[in-house]
Amino acid sequence: MTPGNNGASTPEDDDPFGYLYADGQANGAQPPSGGYGYPNSVNRVRPVGTRQYGQPGPAPQAPPQQGAYGQPNTHYAAPETLPGGATTAHSPQPSHGGGGRSRGPNTKGLLIGAIAVVAAVVIGIGVAMISGDDDKGGNEAGPTPTATQDTGKPSPSSSEDDKGEDEVKLPTIDAKALRLDGGASLASEFDGAKADGGVYVTGFNQVGAKVTWTLSGVKAGSYRFYVQYGIPGEDADATVVVNGKAESRPLNMKNFANSPKGEWDKGWQNTWASVNLNEGTNTIELACNDGNKCNAVLDQFWLAEPE
How many residues does the structure list for the chain? 307
- Residue-wise over 218-239: b if at least 16 C-beta within 10 A, else e? beeeebebbbbbbbbeeebbbb
Q: Angle 205-206-208 (CA atoms, 0-180°, nearest 5)?
A: 130
pLDDT value at position 115?
87
Q: If pLDDT is split at 50, 70 and 90, which confidence band does 139 have?
A: very low
pLDDT for residue 194 is more than 80: yes
pLDDT value at position 151?
34
Quick one: average pLDDT of 121-148?
Answer: 55
pLDDT value at position 156?
37
Express each pLDDT in 150-189 by its tens digit. 333 333 333 444 444 445 589 999 999 999 999 999 999 9
**Residue 43, CB half-sphere, CA atoms under 13 Å: how many?**
5
* Mean pLDDT computed over every residue of the chain: 73
Range from 9-18, 49-58, 142-151, 180-189 that averages highest in pLDDT: 180-189
pLDDT value at position 119?
83
Higher pLDDT, 140 or 3: 3
Helical (H) or strand (E) element with 276: strand 268-277
Quick one: average pLDDT of 187-198?
Answer: 96
Q: If pLDDT is split at 50, 70 and 90, which confidence band does 276 have?
A: very high
Q: Is the pTM of this model over 0.75?
A: no
Under 8 Å between Cβ of 13 and 39? yes
Interacting residues of 189 by C-beta distance below 8 A, sequence separation 6+: 202, 264
Quick one: average pLDDT of 33-60?
Answer: 51
